[in-house]
Amino acid sequence: MHGISINESFSVRPIGYIESDYPDKFGIPRQPGLATAAKATLVLAPPFNTPLSVRGLEAFSHLWISFIFHRSPEEWAPLVRPPRLGGNKKIGVFASRSTHRPNRLGLSLIELVSINTDNGVRLLLKGADLMTGTPVVDIKPYLPWTEALPDARSGFAPTSPPFYPVAFSSAAEIALGQRPDANELRQLITQVLGQDPRPAYHHGQPEREYGMQLRDVNIRFQVQQRPEGNVVYVINIQKMINN
Amino acid sequence: MHGISINESFSVRPIGYIESDYPDKFGIPRQPGLATAAKATLVLAPPFNTPLSVRGLEAFSHLWISFIFHRSPEEWAPLVRPPRLGGNKKIGVFASRSTHRPNRLGLSLIELVSINTDNGVRLLLKGADLMTGTPVVDIKPYLPWTEALPDARSGFAPTSPPFYPVAFSSAAEIALGQRPDANELRQLITQVLGQDPRPAYHHGQPEREYGMQLRDVNIRFQVQQRPEGNVVYVINIQKMINN
């Protein structure tokens, strides 16, 4: 077909890697921009890490980052269960933003804060939904005059997901108070846990405890059903040993 | 770094191919949506071409299509000369949407018209900027609540490129009149040539003739400098022999 074999494959190699507040994939918000307190750095790798390759990029506020879901399985299935549909309805993998997809290509629109070219190239990002170690395969500037379409129809995901209030136990408050990044970490925990990171098929199991990693801590939490609605309750915050 | 080798590469294989009005890369508008008369079909390839894999996709009006610039060279340079800057200013390849980039990954936001699952899966697209034969590596639905950012800053490309009026010679009018798709082809030619597809470094050479392929025709044109401004003049429209 058009001189191209249907079986031809293409090799892509990382142009850089992510260093972020998310050491593990569990609990990462399902889209970028939902947890704006999340910081990340895209560290360009040789031979891409010359300041020339990002010249002019600072004039753009947002970037498209193409990356590989390197921790997702290589197997794929034509149907997936998106969490937005409660995990009990199946849609096509290409109608979803599932991480379990052919080619494992991810795409995130992420705010660019600044560029550091003191030693190689590091892009400081805000609100990224990317796990530490994620291999990045391309960066493109965002073009609002062609890519901002507020009136586009968006099927089963027409608005932002719900956001729950987050409460901290005394033990969690004490643990937070002992850290120099207390305020920032509190904001990050609130934004990330407020998204309700439980797997959709657990929603019928209130009071179940979960652990989630952020920065260098492990956070124990549960989702409590209260008369005023769901509240995410932070049971404890513990420093990870092997970090 | 994080258990991943800096030299690890990933293999991506096409999930499908494009059939479009653009048989050659010269003259294709520089972003999707600029020539809305351009039609394209994304034909899914086995084993991806089951209707299951696109279930629910019809509820979205726009798709992100990730593809390979398969006709661009594999070599890359850290600096490129975007046509929007007149071709005489260099910016970083990652600050551009240049087709000459590491990994040759392309990204287009394209309107979905309909889905045909009579025999395999064919997605009918509108305004695509994709050459026939382009290998597609992913499809994702567009999410306006997180991806429509009208106020994003966009550096050297803050607005749509200029659009010039297009005039047809008598010979071109006669050729058009003999075709069943006359009106549609006229609209397509007007939208595509109005973008001024000349290489930026030719802008100082008015009256120079160019050829561009659309559907099954070769279009001869020149950009004329008139007192009222630039006009793209269609000299002739000829059916391609080997199509």
Measured CA to CA, the distance from residue B108 to residue B96 in angstroms comes to 14
Q: Which residues contact B114 (CB under 8 A, 6 or more apart)?
A: B58, B123, B124
Report chain B residues whose CB lies below 8 A from the CB of A17.
1-2, 4, 6
Residues 138-157 of chain A whose Cβ lies under 8 A from any Cβ of chain B? 138-157
Measured CA to CA, the distance from residue A68 to residue A165 in angstroms comes to 32
Please check whether residues B73 and B192 belong to one and the same domain: no
Measured CA to CA, the distance from residue B239 to residue B243 in angstroms comes to 9
Which of B87, B116, B147 is the last residue before a domain boundary? B147
Chain centroid to CA A37: how far? 12
pLDDT in single tens digits along all 243 residues of chain B: 444 556 689 999 999 999 999 998 888 887 787 888 888 999 999 999 999 999 999 999 999 999 999 999 999 999 999 877 777 789 999 999 999 999 999 999 999 999 999 999 999 999 899 999 999 999 999 999 889 888 899 877 777 778 899 999 999 999 999 999 999 999 999 999 998 888 877 777 778 999 999 999 999 999 999 998 899 999 999 999 864
Q: Which domain holds residue B184?
A: 166-239
Residue of B146, B159, B163, B213 to mutate for A, most A C-beta atoms under 10 A: B146
Our CA-based measurement puts residue A173 at a distance from the nearest CA of chain B, in whole angstroms, of 31
B62, B95, B139 ranked by CB distance to A57: nearest: B95
Please check whether residues B65 and B184 belong to one and the same domain: no
Scanning the structure block, which residue is given the tokens 């479009």? B20
Element of type H or E holding B189: helix B182-193
Please check whether residues B208 and B137 belong to one and the same domain: no
Report chain A residues whose CB lies below 8 A from the CB of B137.
10, 103, 105
Please check whether residues B141 and B27 belong to one and the same domain: yes
Please check whether residues A66 and A112 belong to one and the same domain: yes
Measured CA to CA, the distance from residue A68 to residue A21 in angstroms comes to 18
For the domain that residue A174 is a member of, what is the CATH number?
Answer: 3.30.2310.20
- Rounded alpha-carbon distances, angstroms, from residue A83 to A90, A161, A162, A199, B80: 10, 10, 12, 7, 41
Measured CA to CA, the distance from residue B89 to residue B142 in angstroms comes to 33
A62 touches chain B (CB under 8 A): yes
Structural domain count of chain B: 2
Global ipTM: 0.89
A74 touches chain B (CB under 8 A): no
Residue A17 CA neighbour count, 13 Å, CB half: 15
B97/A141 Cβ within 8 A: yes
Which of B147, B181, B216 is the last residue before a domain boundary? B147
Element of type H or E holding A140: strand A135-141
